[in-house]
Amino acid sequence: MIEPKSPCASPPGPAAKLQRRGRSCCGAVPERDRPETIDRDERAVAEAFAAWSLVRLLGSLPITPGGLGVVEVGLTAALVGFGGANAEVVAAVLLYRFLTIVPTLILGLLAGAIWRRLKAVRA
């Protein structure tokens, strides 16, 4: 069977394998992976996961303790860049950071107070 030649036809080899898998040297994407065929909800989840992954990477850089400030700015910028409304994104980011920092801080302070009290009783 003779295949029609495309403007980005390539000789047999690694490029041909990529074409058979649905991707070509021109950047063609299979029908099921095209952005037009992805649901809005699926795209929102993917964008939120991408933003969260970026922020986890930024938070791991030792710029400030716990990534305080860096994470908030990075996550806000990523979510607004993906099309979120400014006020809603800022509120969600601040709520997320509050819920990830404050409970750990409270438990740590409580454990430290109990430890000091027990240490004073033993001495």
Of 4-13, 43-52, 70-79, highest mean pLDDT? 70-79
**Among the listed residues 65, 52, 64, the one whose alpha carbon sits nearest the alpha carbon of residue 104:** 65
Range 76-97 average pLDDT: 90
Helices 40-60, 70-81: inter-axial angle, 10-degree rounding? 160
Whole-model pTM: value is: 0.55
For residue 20, is pLDDT > 90? no
